[in-house]
Amino acid sequence: MSNIGELLRRYQARLALVSGMTAADARFEVHLLMARVLQVNRAWLAAHGDEQCAPAALAQYQDWLERRLQGEPIAYIFGEKEFFGLLLAVNADVLIPRPETELLVELALARMPVGRMLRVLDLGTGSGAIALSLAKIRPDTQLLAVDASAEALQVARDNARRLQLPNVEFVQSDWWRRVPVAPKFDLIVSNPPYIAAGDPHLQQGDLRYEPPHALLAGAEGLDDLQVIIAAAPYYLAAGGSLLLEHGYEQGGIVLSLLERAGFSAVVTHRDLAGQERVSVGMATTNRPADAAP
């Protein structure tokens, strides 16, 4: 039977060959999987490479590794993903929360003055990553988290229950269909689908395993952004903000859509990689709810 060090070296080479990863990335992943199976840290693996791996642990490790070799994301294999300091349960019904989306949370928090009871809407909540992050940091805020997928909402509800965040309500709705127009919201946030149908990235990496309905938004990737922007002014209180995550090449068109919808102080923010990632606009007036599209 191979010892732990030999197993890691063997599977590192295999993962690098099959996936096209660099040796460093493959090494990180095989160590990450083994550490999780054995419930140890990676430093322990380095110090105990000559020990044998118990048969049950080896079977679990090989199962996980085979899934990874097929391309399944580690977040789905583990069933969880860390986001903004929260450990969230995830599965194939929801997108995997990504670090760049933390910018959206940071920008939202900057627009949530302390000492006021605020109403915040999260459109397309998925695992609940954005809404639950805001709810954790601002327990005085009332959040409504919306998703068209019943399966995604169940994941989000379970996360809220486990994290003991009672200030989030969940509603199944195809965007605005079941969102109440009154009372109005102080803030609306969304990380909607924004990938164009036929984008070659859909055949690469984790995207191959994530739910298509949470990724695709028409021929140019703008369908859902347009729906959100057009109706948002009717749901926002005057002075309230709409914050949207979008693709790195969509900043200009999203700013134009916001301006055409009557938003003021529109601006696009870049993520840590320098890519245009989140655009923001402010509602200038209280629009009549009965005129909402």
Q: The domain that contains 261 carries what CATH number? A: 3.40.50.150
pLDDT per position as a tens digit, 194-242: 999 988 878 888 889 999 999 999 999 999 999 999 999 999 999 999 9
Tell whether 24 and 138 lie within a shared domain: no
Question: Cα(221)–Cα(196) distance, rounded to whole angstroms?
Answer: 4
Residues 65 and 126 in one domain: no
What is the rounded CA–CA span in Å between residue 181 and residue 235? 5
Same domain, 154 and 46: no
Do residues 118 and 154 share a domain? Answer: yes
Q: Are residues 109 and 64 located together in one domain of the fold? A: no
Whether 285 maps to a domain, the answer reads yes
How confident is the model at residue 205, as a pLDDT? Answer: 83
Q: Rounded to an integer, what distance in angstroms lies between the CA atom of residue 239 and that of residue 132?
A: 23
* Radius of gyration, CA atoms only, the chain: 21
Q: How confident is the model at residue 9 (pLDDT cuts 50, 70, 90)?
A: very high
Is the residue at 22 inside a domain?
yes
- Lowest model confidence (mean pLDDT) among 47-56, 97-106, 201-210, 256-265: 201-210
Q: Is residue 75 part of a domain?
A: no
Number of domains in the chain: 2
Domain with 236, as residue range(s), is: 92-291
In tens, the pLDDT along 162-196 reads 999 999 999 999 999 999 999 999 999 999 999 99
The verdict on 230 and 124 lying in the same domain is yes
Asked whether residue 81 is assigned to any structural domain, the reply reads: no
At 47 the pLDDT is 94
Dihedral in degrees, nearest 10, Cα atoms 189, 193, 199, 205: 90
**Do 174 and 141 belong to one domain?**
yes
- Let me know: does 188 contact 243? Beta carbons within 8 Å: yes
- Rounded Cα distance between 11 and 22, Å, is 13
* Same domain assignment for residues 107 and 233: yes
User: Is residue 1 scored above 70 in pLDDT?
Assistant: no
Residue 27 and residue 151 in one domain: no
Domain boundary among 35, 70, 105: 70
Of the residues 36, 70, 104, which one is the last residue of a structural domain?
70
Instruction: Look at residue 85 and tell me if it is in a domain.
Output: no
Q: How many C-beta atoms surround the C-beta of residue 78 within 10 A?
A: 14
Asked whether residue 264 is domain-assigned, the answer is yes
- Is 27 a domain residue? yes
Q: From residue 90, how far is each of 80, 95, 135, 173, 236 by CA, in Å? A: 5, 8, 18, 20, 30
Nearest to 190 by CA among 176, 177, 204: 176
Q: Are residues 62 and 131 in the same domain?
A: no
Is 64 found in the same domain as 97? no
- Phi and psi based region of residue 79 (left: phi greater than 0; alpha: psi -120 to 50; beta: remaining): left
The percentage of the chain sitting over the pLDDT mark of 70, rounded to a whole number, equals: 100
pLDDT, tens only, 235-292: 999 999 999 999 999 999 999 999 999 999 999 999 999 999 999 999 998 888 777 7
Instruction: Write down the pLDDT at residue 59.
Output: 95
Question: Are residue 131 and residue 182 in the same domain, yes or no?
Answer: yes
Whether residue 222 lies inside any domain: the answer is yes
